[in-house]
Amino acid sequence: MSLGTGQDEVSFGRAAGHGEGTAPKPSSLNVDASGLAIATIGLAKRFRNQMAVDGIDLAVPRGTVYGFLGPNGSGKTTTIRMLLGLIQPTGGSQRLLGVSMPAGANAVLPRVGSLVEGPAFYPQLSGRDNLARLDAADRAASPRTAAARIDAALDRVGLLAAAGKHYRAYSLGMKQRLAIAAGLLQPRELMILDEPTNGLDPQGTREVRSLIRQIAADGTTVFVSSHLLAEVDQICSHVGVMRAGELVFQGTLEELRGRGAARILVRTGETTLAARVLDRLGLTDVHVDGREVTAQLGELAPEAVCAELVHAGVPVAGLDTPRASLEDLFVELTGEGFDVNG
């Protein structure tokens, strides 16, 4: 490559590969004005003949808790590994905190904490020594403050009392928390957590969930992948849903809920008559179940339907417009095989 003149630099500017130490130039290419913590355009990964991630456009606003959902094998972990520079995309581009990846990995990753596919540490070392090992690997970490930062991180995840224990003696919940502590060794602008509650008991799940809430409360953007709907429902403000390598939905949790087609439920003794009225009004998917009749509401207002029912002489004992559950929405988005339990 020629070291050269300004003209040459233009053509080489974007060709910078995934080399080490290619600190991103402060050019306009690397400044992201849109305030996105994670932004990908057409991000894709092909493994031999299989498209693991098929051109996704992620947009994770700063300061949000973004739930990255999808069945097992839908490409979530592959996406996260690409975001962190562990694997090379075969297509598209990606920015972390406005910095192009993987070219800017050395510059941006110190500002990103992560937990990828479960905890992994040296079994013969204690929790504290394991964190010291990772801290030693960090070029941006000062050895003078290491001991204090390590203890603070351990304290934050409630492992300070068990800090001297060998990692192999840790329970799964403790291992998971140690992995989160590794992400907290430095102040982070973004935390990327891949299935942080995987394999945890309800108690452990609660602990991790409250930890994520605390991290988010400090202003850190949290990107958390999960296949557990309840988890996302409780902690996330934004959601992306993956299905077979494609991003089939992205938006706020409210927007996702709004997608659910509204239904109407009528409680009555005269179910046959009620069903006939709903049918006549043009409602689809009419079901009779015991003393209840349900149907897709479509564009009609529920009160108009009620008036019609009463007008037709149906004794209406109760009327409801149940919202589709999050789970129904997911099944709708990701297809029937959704693996709720993992």
Partner 1 sequence: MSTADVAAPAAGGQLVAVARWLRLLRSELRLTFGRRRNLVLLAVLAAVPVLLGLVLRFSSGASNGGGGGGNGSPPAFLSQVTGNGVFLAFLTLVVESTLILPLVVAVVTGDSIAGEANRGTLRYLLTVPAGRTRLLGIKFTANVAFCAGACVLVSAVAVAVGAILFPVGPVTLLSGNTVSLGEGMLRLLFVTLYLAAAMAALGAIGLAISTFTEHPIGAIAAVLVIAVASEVADSVSQIDVIHPYLPTHWWLSFDALLRVPIAWPELGHGLLSFALYAVIFCSIAWARFTTADVTS
Assess 117 for contact with partner 1 (CB under 8 A).
yes
Of residues 119 and 173, the one with the C-beta less far from partner 1: 119
Distance CA 267, CA 294 (A): 9
CA distances from 19 to 15, 26, 93, 97, 117 (A): 11, 17, 16, 19, 25
* Tokens (6 digits) for 82: 């690409």
The residue among 115, 89, 99, 107 whose CA lies nearest residue 38 is: 99
Phi-psi region of 50 (alpha: psi -120 to 50; beta: other; left: phi over 0): beta
Q: Does 15 bind partner 1 (CB under 8 A)?
A: no
Considering only 134-142, 154-162, 268-276, 295-303, which stretch makes contact with partner 1 by CB under 8 A? 134-142
Report, in Å, the least distance between residue 125 CB and partner 1.
8
Q: Is 94 in the site for partner 1 (CB under 8 A)?
A: no
What type of residue is 197? T
Among 31, 120, 310, 340, binds partner 1 (CB under 8 A): 120
Q: Distance between CA atoms of 168 and 186, rounded to whole angstroms?
A: 25
Whole-angstrom Cα distance, residue 227 to residue 158?
A: 25
Q: How far is the CB of 64 from partner 1 (least distance, A)?
A: 21
Q: Whose Cβ is closer to partner 1: residue 24's or residue 70's? A: 24
Number of chain positions touching partner 1 (CB under 8 A): 39
**Terminal C-alpha separation, the chain:** 49
Residue 132 in contact with partner 1, rule: CB under 8 A = yes
Told to check if 95 binds partner 1 by CB under 8 A, we report no
CB 16 within 8 A of CB 106: no
Single residue of 14, 23, 147, 201 touching partner 1 by CB under 8 A: 23
> Site for partner 1 (CB under 8 A): which residue of 68, 74, 103, 121?
121
Shortest distance, position 111 Cβ to partner 1, whole Å: 10
| Residue 110 preceded by cis peptide, ω within 30 | no
Min. distance of Cβ 143 from partner 1 in angstroms?
Answer: 6
Site residues (CB under 8 A) for partner 1?
A: 18-21, 23, 81, 84-88, 105-107, 109-110, 112, 114, 116-122, 124-125, 132-134, 136-141, 143, 179, 182
